[in-house]
Structures are given as structure tokens and as C-alpha cells.
Amino acid sequence: MNDIITFNGVTKRHGDVTSLADLHLEVQEGEVLALLGHNGAGKTTAMKLILGLIAPSEGELRVFGAAPHGAEADRLRRRLGFLPENVGFYEQLSGREVLDYFARLKRVDRHRIDDRLEQVGLGEASRRRVKTYSKGMRQRLGLAQALLGDPRLLLLDEPTTGLDPAATRDFYATVRALRDQGCTVLLSSHVLPGVEPYIDRALILGGGKRLALGSLDELRRQAELPLTIRAKGDWSITPPPADLPAHETQRLNGHACEFRVHPANKMRVLRCLTTTPGIEDIELLPPSLENLYTHFSATESPRGQS
Amino acid sequence: MNAVLSVARKEFRDGLRNRWVLAIALVLAILAVGIAYFGAAASGELGFTSLATTVVSLSTLAVFLIPLIALLLAYDAIVGEQEAGTLLLLLTYPLSRSQLLLGKFFGHGLILAVATALGFGIAGIAIALGAPGVDLLALAGSIGLLIVSSVLLGWVFIAFAYLISVWVTEKAQAAGLALIVWFLFVLVFDLALLALLVSVERGGDWLPWLLLLNPTECFRLINLAGFEAARSYTGLTSIAEGGTFRPAVVTAILVAWILVPLGLALLRFRRRAA
């Protein structure tokens, strides 16, 4: 596996403010990495550094093996797609004209613009002015723009803000298809439940520092958050065993019980529950990305506030 | 170079689409024909009088309108894209900041050039048709000079507009500053120079040189150079006695008035943070 992006102790300061502190990160080819964090956590700074819009104050950053701010910038930028947050595009142009302009600037084959528009579902609207587009259509036009010239690295800043659930699903389906073709994707998002199924790893930032990095499983192991087991059945026959290594948190209308269980005790609790008479169904709910995010950000915030 | 042309092409097409070219050409043509026809109304005559009066009137019109049009056309060139979010995106493209700004300059410059040529060209044709006794060759020469110098003057103020546009962070600020620039160069400068002229009792050989500090005065000097007869109407520029400034020199200075603010805008744009 090739490293597409390498942060080696990268720090970025703006005057007295440190927006990114000593970041170490390797992103491999064909990986979908989510950048998570509150506003001002350093997500946008990290993206701007990768895009070569700003230079690191300290440390070394390599994208496709070269410094993105240096002399190689032009070559790197042609292999890279970016979808900024809140891009307005040119209202008076049609979707097709917008793409035509960006394709010229990126020096890519303009004959494939129509394919791109079809790919993001804007084939019908391609000759209408952007002014008449809905938020979702603009976002899809932005994605089509980012996909110009088959980039090997895609940076998506808050790509699904303002999209409805169906549009969000479509959006991530496109991202997954790209990943399957070997494209590396970095995306930042506030909408954690939507992004969870589509990412390989998550980087959680807080106050410019790396709070956690890993796949969902790795993050769960690090966090050791209790998981939730929901057991449905007739609890009036047998009450839950008293020695269950879990605490019952909720009883829903006598038919379901929820337990919060430390991951190490998961199997013991499950064995115990499966042998309890009257139980018809057991659901296992591992901590979600949102729980993990809250957990890791909470470790930072007291210091982050000071 | 390719990127510069792509940006220029887009700006020019935008100018055609949002009717900038048409609007500028129409305003210039209508006002120019009106001034040529009614220019002598103050002295009790109607209709085309002499080429000298007409050229003086038209260049006064151009001094007021061209800078204003250029500033309006270009003041949001960079700050507008910044507010729309497209600037950030453009900067991640294989395109340098200088290429972006130069592309915009060529695009906006062409819009202004085409519109000015159309507007004053139509006016010239109307004068030729409406004034039977006029020397066509002299008219064509004067109108041609007026068009070329108006275009240069417009480019000066496009460059000023860019300097403003790369300096501020809000469109409203840029618009305000653009109006102040117009006000200073078109109105205040003349008044200040007049006051100075009146207060300086002796010497004052250096006074005409002050005219070169204002591109609109350079523009007047170029257009009125050929008209000894027009001297009585030219107001302040008449302090430059015949032959002080050769038109070629003044034209070069006007070109410098384009290059210096444009160069400063490029420097500022390249150095500022993304």
C-alpha cells in the first residue's frame, strides 16, 4: 500500500493561534478517512495544508510524495479533486458551463463533462442555470467538479450539509464507487450517523490535536465504551439474573430490557441471556461513531477550553 | 498562458451574457450623440457645430463615465469570488494567482474595449450622417483617438478596481472604495489643482506636471492635443501650454498608470493568505 498523504509532526500557527499541533498521519491509497471535530478543531486547516493553500509552520507534509505547497503544486493539483464547504458557483452559468470552465482550467478532456453530469444525476438539468438549482443539485455539481480528470485523491469538506437522507445516501454511494476504483477520499462531516457506514478510518481532532485515529473497531477498543444489549421477551416470567455483569438501564413496556455492558463482559451476558427463558430476540448495539466522537472529544474539551 | 485565456474567455462571455457590453455601448452611444447634437445649446445653437467642440464634449463625457464603468465592472473581481466561495476552489486548481488575475484583466479589458468601440463608433457614424459639412477623415481620426484613449483610461481604472478587490474582504467595502477612487480622480483632483493654481502667484512652471499625477488628465491631454481651437474650452488642461507634453509621452504615462496598480494588485494577491 502506498501512502498518499503523510503528515510528519505538522504544526500550523496563525500568529498566536495554533490551529494544528504536531499532527502525525498516514493516509493510504484507496482509503476513506473521515476528519471529525468541532468547529476550529483543525479540519479545514488540515485540508488547506493538503491542498497547498497554506504551508506548514513546522514539520513535513507530503502528498503524492511531494510538498503540496512547493514547486510540484501544479502537477499535484491535477490529480486532486476538492469540494469546498458552501461553494456558490456561478449563478448565471448553466451546470454544464460551470464544469466546462473548471475542466479547461484543469486541462482535462472536456468531452467527458456530460458523462460526469449523468454520473451525479444532473443530466437533465445540465443546461439550466445554476441559479435554479436546489441545494442538493449544487452539491452534486460540486462533486462532478471535484471528479474532473479522475483524481486520485478527493477532499470533501462537509459534503452532505443540507442534503436530505436520500441524497446523502446517493452521495456516499458515489464515494464508495470511487474508493473501489482506488481513489483515496478524505471527508469532513458533522453528520456522523450518515457517514459511519462508508468510512474506513476516522481521525478525531480537537483544538488542533489528534485525539484518536483508527477504524471504528479500533476506536471502540480504545474507548472501551459499554455496548447496549436489548433483549426482547416476556420479562414478567423471569426477572433478569441478579449476577449479570451489566446494569439494566431501561425497561420498555415489560417486553424489552436494555443493558449497558462493558465490552469484556459481552459474551458472558449474551450466554446468560440466551439461556433465560421467555427471551425471544436479542439485539446488539455497539457504540456508534457518535458515541465514540463524544467520548474522545470529551477527553479534550477541559484542556481545550483553558 | 492557456489558463489565462480560459479565465479571460469566461469573463468576456459573462460580460456578454449579463448585458454589460450592450449596456455600456448603448449608454456611451446615446450620451455621445446627445452631447454632439446639444453640445452647443448653451450658445443658442442646436446641432453639430465643430469637430473641436464635439471632441472636447465627448472627452469630458468619457472622463466621467469610463472610470465609473470600469470600476463598477471590476470592483468585485476577486472579493466577489471570495464571497461566493469559488476563489478557494480556483486556488486549488493548477492555475497561479497571477494567471487568474491577468485572465480577469484581459476579459474585463476586452469587455470595456468592445463596448467603448461600439458606443463611440456608433456615435461617430451618427455624427458623420447628421453633420453634412464635417471632414470625415478628421472625424474618424478624432473618434479613433477617443476610442483608443478611452480604452486605456478604462484599463487604468480596471487595474485600480483590482487593487481594491484584492485588498478588502467584503464586496461592500470594495464598492465604497471604488466610488471614493472615482470621486478623487474625477472630481476632487481638478478642484484641488484649481485651488493650487489660483494660490500660486509666481513661477508655477511645475504645475502642468501635476496633471500627469491623474490618469484622467492624461486622457484629456491626449485627446485635446490636436485642437488649438479647443484650448478655450479645455479648462484646467490648458495650463499645459502647447507642446509641453507630446501625445506619445502622455500615452506612455497612461500605460504606466495601468501597469503600476495592476502590478501592485498582483503582488498583493500573491502574498495574501488563502
Q: Which residue of A has its CA nearest to B11?
A: A101
Domains for chain A: give ranges and CATH numbers: 3-79+151-220 (3.40.50.300), 226-286 (3.30.70)
Give tens-digit pLDDT for B153-180.
999 999 999 999 999 999 999 999 999 9
CA distance A107 to chain B (A): 8
Among the residue ranges A100-104, B1-5, B132-136, B175-179, the one predicted with the least confidence is B132-136
Residue A107 sits at the chain B interface (C-beta within 8 Å): yes
Span of A120-124, A233-237, B69-73 with lowest mean pLDDT: A233-237
Residues facing residue A185 across a β-bridge? A32, A154
CB contacts, 8 Å: A100 with chain B: none
Interface of B to A at Cβ within 8 Å reads 2-3, 6-7, 10, 14, 17-18, 83-86, 88-95, 273-274
Mean pLDDT over A57-64 rounds to 91
- Considering CB atoms only, which of B86, B91, B274 is closest to A87? B86
Report the residue from B6, B92, B94 with minimal CB separation from A101: B6
Which of B170, B166, B168, B169 minimizes the C-alpha distance to B158?
B166
- What is the average per-residue pLDDT within A98-109? 92
What pLDDT is stored for residue B227 in this prediction? 65
Vertex A32 angle, CA A30 and A35, to 5°: 145
Rg of the Cα atoms in chain B: 20
The yes-or-no verdict on residue B89 having pLDDT over 80 is yes
Considering only CB atoms, which chain B residues are within 8 Å of A82? 89, 92
Among A74, A96, A104, A138, which would you mutate to test the B interface (most chain B Cβ atoms within 10 Å of its Cβ)? A104
Mean pLDDT of B121-146: 86
Q: Do B92 and A80 touch (CB under 8 A)?
A: yes
What pLDDT shows up at residue B242?
Answer: 53
pLDDT digits (tens, 9 = 90+) for B21-65: 999 999 999 998 888 877 666 666 666 777 777 888 888 899 999
The mean pLDDT of chain B is 87
Is the Cβ–Cβ distance between A184 and A152 less than 8 Å? yes
Cβ contact B94–A54 (<8 Å): no
Average pLDDT, whole number, for chain A? Answer: 85
Average pLDDT over residues B86-110: 94
Q: Could you tell me how many CB contacts below 8 A there are between chain A and chain B?
A: 61
Q: Which residue out of A64, A91, A105 would a mutagenesis test of the B interface target, given it has the greatest number of B Cβ atoms within 10 Å?
A: A105
Inter-chain touch B6–A104, beta carbons under 8 Å: yes
A74 close contact with B: CB closer than 8 A? yes
Q: Does A106 touch chain B (CB under 8 A)?
A: yes
Cα angle for residues A45, A51, A55 (degrees, 5° grid): 65
| Cα(B230)–Cα(A58) distance, integer angstroms | 67
Task: Please give the ipTM for the structure prediction.
Answer: 0.85
Cβ contacts of B220 within 8 Å, gap of 6 or more = B59, B63, B234, B237
Q: Does residue B234 register a pLDDT over 60?
A: no
Residue A111 pLDDT grade (very low, low, confident, very high; cuts 50, 70, 90): confident
Query: Do the chains contact at A106 and B93, CB–CB below 8 Å?
Result: yes
pTM: 0.86
User: Which range (A227-231, A236-240, A255-259, B126-130) has the least confidence?
Assistant: A236-240
Per-position DSSP letters for chain A, written without gaps between them: --EEEEEEEEEEEETTEEEEEEEEEEEETT-EEEEE-STTSSHHHHHHHHHTSS--SEEEEEETTB-TTSTTHHHHHTTEEEE-TT----TTSBHHHHHHHHHHHHT--GGGHHHHHHHTT-TTTTTSBGGG--HHHHHHHHHHHHTTT--SEEEEESTTTT--HHHHHHHHHHHHHHHHTT-EEEEE-S-HHHHGGG-SEEEEEETTEEEEEE-HHHHHHHHTPPEEEEEEE-TTTSPPPTT-SSEEEEEETTTEEEEEE-GGGHHHHHHHHHTSTTEEEEEEEPPPHHHHHHHHHHHHHHHHH-
Q: Tell whether A48 lies on the interface with B, counting CB pairs under 8 A.
A: yes
d(CA B58, CA B36): 7
**Structure confidence at residue B236 (pLDDT):** 59
Q: Would you call B89 and A104 a contact, using CB atoms and an 8 Å cutoff?
A: no
CA of B242 to nearest chain A CA: how many angstroms apart? 50
Instruction: For residue A135, list chain B residues with Cβ-Cβ distance below 8 A.
Output: none
Task: Flag whether pLDDT at A65 surpasses 70.
Answer: yes
What whole-number distance in Å separates Cα of residue B39 and Cα of residue B35? 5
Spatial neighbors of A128 by CB under 8 A, at least 6 apart, are A94, A95
In this complex, is the C-beta atom of A77 within 8 Å of any C-beta atom belonging to chain B? yes
**What proportion of chain B, given as a percentage, has pLDDT over 70?**
88
d(CA B142, CA B54): 10
In Å, how far is B19's CA from the nearest CA of chain A? 12
Instruction: Note the pLDDT of residue A279.
Output: 81
Kindly list the residues from chain A whose CB atom is less than 8 angstroms away from the CB atom of residue B95. Answer: 105
By Cβ distance, the residue of A74, A78, A82 closest to B89 is A82
The answer to whether residue A53 neighbours chain B at the CB level (below 8 Å) is yes
So what's the pLDDT on residue A304?
A: 41
Cα of A73 to nearest chain B Cα, Å: 7
Do A105 and B7 make contact, defined as CB atoms within 8 angstroms?
A: yes
A243/chain B closest Cα distance in angstroms: 60
CA dihedral A59, A62, A63, A65 (to 10 degrees): 180
Cβ of B88 within 8 Å of Cβ of A53? The answer is yes
Distance of residue B159 Cα from the nearest chain A Cα, in angstroms: 23
What pLDDT does B271 receive?
Answer: 87
Give yes or no for a contact between B178 and B94, defined as CB atoms under 8 angstroms apart. Answer: no
One-letter amino acid for residue A269 of the chain: V
Is the CB of B10 less than 8 angstroms away from the CB of A101? yes
B-chain CB neighbours of A75 within 8 Å are 94
Query: Measured between CB atoms, which of B84, B94, B274 is closest to A77?
Result: B94
Pick from B17, B18, B89: which is nearest to A87 by CB?
B89
Distance CA A82, CA B208 (A): 55
* Average pLDDT for A73-94: 88
Report whether pLDDT(A237) > 60: yes
Chain centroid to Cα B26, Å, comes to 16
Q: Which amino acid is at B28?
A: L
| Separation in Å, CA of A111 to nearest CA in chain B | 16
Exposure string over B104-135, b if 16+ CB within 10 A, otherwise e: bbbbbbbbbbbbbbbbbbbbbebbeeebeebe
